Amino acid sequence: MRIAFLVAPEGIEQVELTEPWQAVREAGGTPVLVSTASGRVQAFHHLDKADTFPVDATVADSSVEKYDGLVLPGGVANPDALRMDEGAVRFARSFFEAGKPVAAICHAPWLLVEADVVRGRTLTSWPSLETDIRNAGGNWVDETVKVCEGGASTLVTSRKPDDLPAFNEAMVSVFRSARV
C-alpha cells in the first residue's frame, strides 16, 4: 500500500500530516510526501511554525499510477496554496478519475472543490467550508468522519484534529479494501 500525502511547501497542520502518516505505516503501508516543490515543507501547530519534513517527490514527477491512495492533510494555508497550483489540482483529480481512494481532513476539501470532484458526494470538513462544498454540488454533513462510496473512488473526510482517531481508522480500512 503506497499512499501519496499531497502538501504545499508550507502551512500544513502538522498533526494532520504526522498521525495519518503513522497510521499508514502501522498498517504496513508506505507513505510518500508529495509537494509542489522539492526540498522540505514547513508544518504548523495551528498558526505557530512546527517541524519541517523532507519531500519525497514533486507533483511534476508523480503520477496516480505510482500510488494506491491519496491523503490530503489540512491546515488553512496548505489547501489554499494547493488549490492555486494547477499541477496539484490535476494530481488530486487524477485519483478520482482512476477510482483510487482519497482521504481529506479539515480544510483539505478546498482542493477537492477546486478539482471539481465533490459534486454529488457527501463529505465533512472544517465548518467554514460548508458553503464552498454545497456551492460545488456536494452535500456537507457535521460528522466526525464520513465515508462516501459514491462514484468511482471512495472519499474519507473528517472535520478537525480531534477527529484523527476515527479518520485514521476509516482511512486505513478504505485503503486496505481498495487493494483487495
Q: Which residues are catalytic?
A: 106-107
Q: Dmax of the chain from CA atoms?
A: 41
Using CA atoms, how far apart are residues 151 and 111, in angstroms rounded to an integer? 18
Cα-based distances in Å from 50 to 13, 43, 57: 9, 5, 21
Let me know if 46 is exposed, middle or buried by CB neighbors in 10 A (0-12, 13-18, 19+). exposed
Amino acid at 41: V
Strands 155-158 vs 102-105: parallel, antiparallel or unpaired: parallel
Angle among Cα 150, 97, 140 to the nearest 5 degrees reads 40
